[in-house]
Chains A and B, each alone.
Chain A
Amino acid sequence: MKLEEIRRILDAEWSSGEPGRGGDREVRSCHASDLLSDVLTSCGVGSILLTGLTNAQVIRVAEISDFAAVCFVRGKKPQPEVAQLAEEMEIPLLVTHLSMFESCGRLYAKGLPGVNGAKENARCQTKK
């Protein structure tokens, strides 16, 4: 699913860089969490991170785990320095006014699997 399609489904706004940049990125799955420790245990490659946290560590974690994009829920806009960091790391940011539950529900209904559902995960978790 393209990021632009996700943006439409979530009725979200671009929150960093030029609006629309990265819209053609392919997003394979979704991880929704406010617990960054948990996010790090899953494989984010090509995934979108839905979260209510807006601190800089969200961007760091997304970058370290190769997430394709981050979307903040409940209309929380990140601080300028957080958006700046995302820009540097080339991670597109979205902000949706929807709740976490509603966001997940809409994406799941449109066929976007959870991170653990994506086939690619088997390749990522190299250690059993």
Chain B
Amino acid sequence: MSDKEVTKIQEMVYELLVGQVMTRKVISVMPSTPMGDLREILRVNRISGVPVVEDGRLVGIISLEDFMSWLTDGGPQCLVADRMTREVRSIYDDEPLVQAVNRLERLGFGRLPVLGRQTGAVVGVITKGDIINGLLQHLEVDYRNAEMRGARSSHLFEDIVADRSVLRLEYRVVGADFTQAGASASGLKTTLRRLGVDPQTTRRVAIATYEAEMNLIVFTPGGRITVEVRPEMIRLEVQDDGPGIPDIAKAMQPGFSTAPDWVRELGFGAGMGLPNIKKCADRMTVDSQVGKGTRIEIEILMEQQGESQRHSAEARA
């Protein structure tokens, strides 16, 4: 293992909490459990010790070792309460993992019962195996994230040296062609994901594009969707030479629809198209002339910029 990974693990044992890696399914016994039953409990669950719990409280712990010493004594009739270790070392679920590592190491124990800070009740058990598994899982997540970052070109705009950079994509949509409906939105979504645009912004752009695409297919002979990807926002322009919208205000009302029956049968035409686009957009303008066509401009700010700009807008208001 390289030095860097060791450092990463050292970092993780401080970051991760006991509650994140512990085993939640706690197998426990009661003080009144007969010692003779212990073997079966340990065998079936493949564990080498169990906490002893009474009314949700931890009152002791009993291990395979205790069981063996009981056997050596001839296995007399007695209860777990008679053979258990009463001074139990435990750990709270909100303590950092490093505490568990140190405590297990220092005490030479195989497991520690985990208590909830608020309730004091037993919420789990942590073993060395849990710690190793937890660390490996988090390493893998880290590794996968790093791999994803490497695979996409989120640094696209950082690599371009220019005062202003805009990536322009164009999609042509054919009217009444339902077999291809949604293909532009789908293609755009894949492209944005590859460009490293955050999932949130990508989803909003995809939904707005999909609705716009549906409108082109249902109501017009076809049209064009132009997408401009800028560092701070994504700008969509949807243009067609269709029949136009006579009353834009009405078309923007949720539920108002002029869609034909065959469209409704497919699950569309509920009068949610333009309202849906508006919901996804930070800015939207609709320009339409009856008999000439419609032009919709949609601006969706990149998530981070969007947040801060919205906040500053709210602050100004």
Contacts and interface: CB of A to CB of B under 8 A. Distances in A.
Contacts of B185: 60, 64
A108 B200 CA distance: 27
Contact of B267 (A34, A64, A89, A125): A34
A66 B276 contact: no
Interface stretch (A15-23, A24-32, A36-44, A70-78): A36-44
Nearest to A39: B267
B269 A37 contact: yes
Contact of A40 (B181, B210, B271): B210
A124 interface: yes
Interface stretch (B11-19, B124-132, B201-209): B201-209
Contacts of A37: 267-273, 276
A19 B266 CA distance: 27
Given A37-B276, A64-B207, A126-B204, A57 B268 contact: yes
A127 B267 contact: no
A58 B266 CA distance: 9
A38 B272 contact: yes
B207 A57 contact: no
Contacts of B268: 36-37, 57
Contact of B182 (A38, A57, A66, A126): A57
A77 to B, nearest CB: 17
Contacts of A41: 272, 276, 279
Contacts of A40: 207, 210-211, 272, 276
Interface string B275-299: 0100111100000000000000000
B189 interface: yes
A57 B211 CA distance: 12
A126 B272 contact: no
B165 to A, nearest CB: 25
Interface in A58-102: 58, 60-61, 63-66, 89
A34 B183 CA distance: 21
Contacts of B276: 37, 40-41
B219 to A, nearest CB: 14
A55 B266 contact: yes
Contacts of B145: none
B185 to A, nearest CB: 6
A89 B190 CA distance: 10
Contacts of A35: 267, 270
Contacts of A107: none
A72 B226 CA distance: 35
Contact of A56 (B179, B200, B269, B273): B179
Contacts of A61: 182, 210
A45 to B, nearest CB: 8
B186 A63 contact: yes
Max chain A CB contacts within 10 Å: which of B189, B267, B280? B267
Give the 3 A-B residue pairs with the shortest CB-CB distance, closest first. Answer: A60-B182, A36-B267, A37-B272
Interface of A: 34-38, 40-41, 45, 51, 53, 55-58, 60-61, 63-66, 89, 123-127
13 contacts: A35-B270, A36-B268, A37-B268, A37-B269, A41-B276, A57-B267, A61-B182, A61-B210, A65-B207, A66-B203, A124-B203, A127-B279, A127-B280
Given A57-B267, A65-B206, 13 more contacts: A37-B270, A38-B272, A40-B272, A41-B279, A60-B186, A61-B182, A63-B189, A64-B185, A64-B186, A64-B189, A64-B207, A126-B303, A127-B280
